[in-house]
Chain A
Amino acid sequence: MATVTMTVNGKSRTGEAEGRTLLVSFLREELGLTGTHVGCDTSQCGACVVHVNGEAVKACTMFAQEADGAEVSTIEGQANADGSLNTIQQAFQDHHGLQCGFCTPGMVMSAAALLKDNPKPTEQEVRNYLQGNICRCTGYHNIVKAIMAASGQDVSAIAAE
């Protein structure tokens, strides 16, 4: 066991972690931040995507001890200061970009990382970027639409609801 300290959603957080404890387990079980989900054990599904030092990371691919001292953002820290949904979150609600909600935290975190690097992605760029995020409910149509809308682009040509 080692003591690990990181800044999570702007606040310093400390907990205990074994060498083999994954960052996602540390967030969920040690810090109680259960918004980050575990959907697989081969780093494929993307339900656990968080940001570490500004980069999108699958929190199952990193040990908690590796994140010692890092700046971590999770889904719990994404809403606006007044508690309202941020632009990406609001677009997901507006365009029905989620159903069961389980992949959603990872989708939102991946979308945020995409739009930071590529503020006006094409539809194909969005689809390619989501290679590492699996959704079983939506068929991605409305996720792609939501991300395009969140980037300020006109999505009226993508089939209406």
Chain B
Amino acid sequence: MPKDGGIGASTKRREDVRFLTGKGKYTDDININNQTYVYFLRSDVAHGTLNNVDTSAAEGMPGVIRVFTGKDFEGIGGLPCGWQVTDRHGEPMQEPPHPVLAQGKVRHVGDPIAAVVAESLEQARDAAEAIDVDITDLPAVIDMKAAVQDGAPKVHDDLTSNLCYDWGFVEDNRQAVDDAIKSAHHVTTLELKNNRLVANPMEPRVAVGDFNDATGDHTLYTTSQNPHVIRLLMGAFVLGIPEHKLRVVAPDVGGGFGTKIFHYAEEAFCTFAAKEIRRPVKWTCSRSEAFISDAHGRDHVTKIELAMDAEGNFTALRTETYANMGAYLSTFAPSVPTWLHGTLMAGNYKTPLIYVNVKAVFTNTVPVDAYRGAGRPEATFQLERVIDKAAREIGMDPIELRRKNFITEFPYATPVAVEYDTGNYNATMDKLIEVADFAGFEARAAESKARGKLRGLGVNCYIEACGIAPSNLVGQLGARAGLYESATVRVNATGSISVMTGSHSHGQGHETAFPQVVADMIGIDASQVEIVHGDTANTPMGMGTYGSRSLAVGGSAMVRATEKIIAKAKKIAAHLMEASEGDIELKDGAFTVAGTDKSVAWGDVTLAAYVPHNYPLEEIEPGLEETAFYDPSNFTYPSGAYSCEVEVDPDTGKVEVLAFAAADDFGNVVNPMIVEGQVHGGIAQGIGQAMLENCAYDDDGQLLSGSYMDYAMPRAADLPNFVVDHSCQTPCTHNPLGVKGCGEAGAIGSPPALVNAVCDALQRAGKDVKHIDMPLSPSRVWAAMNG
């Protein structure tokens, strides 16, 4: 290992220095000469006919340059959806248009109606108040089940109903699952909600559009997790700009959690308007605006049934989910409740028969799309809750019931179309029991009881699928994009290295962890390797960062490119040492000839590549730069076991999380410090979902939780310290690093542990509480106890 940290070292993050000194460069820190500011006037009603937008008064206000409405975008493409789901009858989903600015109707609170571009943001905001909007209110559809009733008001008049699709998976199993449930010894049924959340990265979205009318070049600076995807979607589908005339830059990005994957109207607007007015246009989202314009997450209503035989073996699983799409299809929305959810319904268990039905529904709410975990938390929550309920119904210990049904042999092909390559679920459960000190729980519960508090312990397992792939398979499933990743490894003449990656770092520490890999392979200091990312002008086409894919997919591309570099460097070294290429070994940054004391340093070889005086020019080109595109052959499957210990106040229903432990199997780990940080953050978001956060609409479609006054973000005092362990490692068998991905595990694995813990606490106190919907606010817990 290089002395400053290779694979496996908790190297301190180099990016921290700029963030800690105020020298990060986030999109809102970018200001371009002569720039203008845009303010979006948004609908304050959930559903209505847009009769007229009178901008005449606003256009005469001080500083106003131009006011845009939906009319300016007639004939221009709408925002595209990147995934087409085919329903259980073989028909494509209903896919409504999604205009950049509203046309004809407004469909959710926050739908943009007009955009004022002015010399200052204050002037733009002042002028927006002078726009006269004539809307005839229409009844709003908010509740999903009501939305699919006959006669319900339609969100999109041109669609046959509010049902986007009715998906069955695996449809051929439907009858067999029904039969197995009918004839089962015991069936446990649970109806639950997976609450709607708002991702809330701390940096609100920002877009700055720029246009050079001398060259015809467009530039968009944006808060994105995947600048190439934005370039492709916006360039090809919305504005008709070819890639070589459109540069998309995502500089330092202050967290994403999924909601910065998608292509948004404001990005297209700023790019479009900058050309129209021949000046840069900047938009900075306020937090209140983020609540009504960032894609939301989760929002499923589910009924799950688990069938068992007399010994507690799972025999069949059936689940029916209503999944909220919101008013329009966000970029990857259709894939979340289907391919990212149905494929995970086997969990860690060898249930032989599974059928998943998902009805995706349009409502007059903000679009819903991927949020940290995306489909997998929804699958895990319902499965791990119903197992806990089943254990209590049949009188078996919940851990014992899980162990009884664990998959223990790998590879394992599930009945929901995926094949797990590796895992050891008993090992992570054993580790959890150890690190969370289950042995001491009863004593702790007694101590709580002595203080008049109800203590509970909740346990669950999870399986995740990361690095969704391969491209040809996801293409068959409806993806309108590839899911490879890219890397260019550019070795400079003096031996330092720049790695241009299509992955994007917005908190994950790629600038530190990726060099650890390259440096380890070559045997040089990681400080000699620099990561370049976030700019389509200087990185190869890549798909960006989401779905815990960056190291497993982007890192693998980097490994492949580095392997090409090493292969070429060995040829050069062989020439320099007049040896056979097959005898060249690379270790600790030096090439040696096996069985001799001949040696040539890394820097000598790299210099020879660029000053090829003594060089095999007849065999190889000068230079040392290689690109690789890596398309995985399968998902990776991290797994783990989580536990949560809570104390419930019987007088108020207030839940306190006292302890939270995670035993994860991420395969090989490059930087343990970063991995643990990822798990911490995921757990905090999962506890947030389970205990605090709720995105709530009233019946008229007004967002009740539209700011941090009403949407309860987890604060430091809401959370305990976490115990996290990743020592159980079954390396991924199909990528070169043996890594699995760790970004979403915490958010996937933690909500059921908390709810299981609260139910456990109440049941220990003799309360017959089978389930409480998240978030477990004091009022809900109190009502459940006293219901």
Contacts and interface: CB of A to CB of B under 8 A. Distances in A.
Chains A and B bind each other: yes
Contacts of A137: 202, 255, 507, 677, 681
A161 B676 contact: yes
Interface stretch (A51-59, A61-69, A86-94): A86-94
Contacts of A40: 287, 707-708
Contacts of B443: none
B2 interface: no
A92 B677 CA distance: 12
B286 interface: yes
Given A36-B22, A75-B21, A98-B19, A139 B722 contact: yes
Contact of B716 (A28, A98, A140): A140
A99 interface: yes
A101 interface: yes
Given A92-B20, A102-B26, A136 B201 contact: yes
Contact of B507 (A20, A33, A101): A101
A15 interface: no
A99 B673 contact: no
B287 A85 contact: no
A120 B53 CA distance: 60
Interface in A72-110: 74-76, 78-79, 85, 89, 92-94, 96, 98-105, 108
A96 B715 contact: no
A59 B204 CA distance: 17
A100 B255 contact: yes
A117 B398 CA distance: 48
Given A100-B203, A139-B680, A159-B722, A108 B20 contact: yes
Main secondary structure of the interface of A (DSSP, over half): loop
A75 B201 CA distance: 21
B777 interface: no
A100 to B, nearest CB: 3
Contacts of A156: none
Interface in B41-86: none
A18 B674 CA distance: 44
Nearest to A47: B202
A33 B22 contact: yes
A96 B671 CA distance: 12
Contact of A141 (B31, B203, B722): B722
B507 A96 contact: no
Interface in A114-156: 123-124, 126-128, 130-131, 133-145
A136 B260 CA distance: 14
Nearest to B505: A100
B233 interface: no
Contacts of A123: 721
Interface stretch (B7-15, B598-606, B729-737): B7-15
Given A41-B707, A42-B708, A139 B15 contact: no
A143 B717 CA distance: 12
A128 B717 contact: yes
B612 interface: no
B29 interface: yes
A45 interface: yes
Contacts of A29: 31
Given A41-B287, A89-B20, A105-B22, A136 B719 contact: no
B504 to A, nearest CB: 12
Contacts of B673: 96, 161
Given A41-B287, A85-B17, A141-B721, A100 B507 contact: yes
A35 B709 contact: no
A99 B396 CA distance: 42
A159 B21 contact: no
Contacts of A108: 20
A114 B508 CA distance: 28
Nearest to B284: A38
How many A residues are at the interface, by size bracket?
Answer: 35 or more
Contacts of B18: 101
B672 interface: yes
A144 B286 CA distance: 28
Contacts of B682: 139
A136 B22 contact: no
Contacts of B202: 37, 39, 45, 47, 100, 102-103, 134-137
B348 interface: no
B430 interface: no
A41 B286 contact: yes
Contacts of A140: 684, 714-716, 719
B91 to A, nearest CB: 39
Contacts of A145: 721
Contact of A94 (B12, B29, B684): B12
Contacts of A33: 22
B20 A104 contact: yes
B24 interface: yes
Contacts of A44: 707-709, 713
A131 B716 CA distance: 7
B715 A130 contact: yes
A101 B15 contact: yes
Nearest to B14: A93
A127 B716 contact: yes
Nearest to B204: A39
A124 B718 CA distance: 11
B391 interface: no
A45 B22 contact: no
Contact of A89 (B21, B252, B284, B713): B21
Contact of B709 (A42, A100, A130): A42
B20 A98 contact: yes
B447 interface: no
Contacts of A35: 21-24
B28 to A, nearest CB: 7
B22 A74 contact: yes
B509 interface: yes
Query: Can you list the 10 inter-chain pairs with the closest CB atoms, starting with the nearest?
Result: A35-B22, A101-B19, A102-B254, A139-B684, A100-B507, A99-B507, A44-B708, A75-B22, A139-B680, A40-B287
29 contacts: A20-B122, A28-B28, A34-B29, A35-B22, A37-B203, A38-B28, A42-B288, A44-B713, A78-B21, A101-B252, A102-B201, A104-B19, A127-B717, A130-B715, A134-B715, A136-B200, A136-B202, A137-B507, A137-B677, A138-B680, A138-B684, A139-B683, A140-B684, A140-B715, A140-B719, A141-B680, A159-B721, A159-B723, A161-B10
Given A96-B12, A98-B20, A134-B713, 9 more contacts: A33-B22, A39-B254, A75-B20, A78-B21, A96-B673, A101-B19, A102-B26, A130-B717, A131-B716
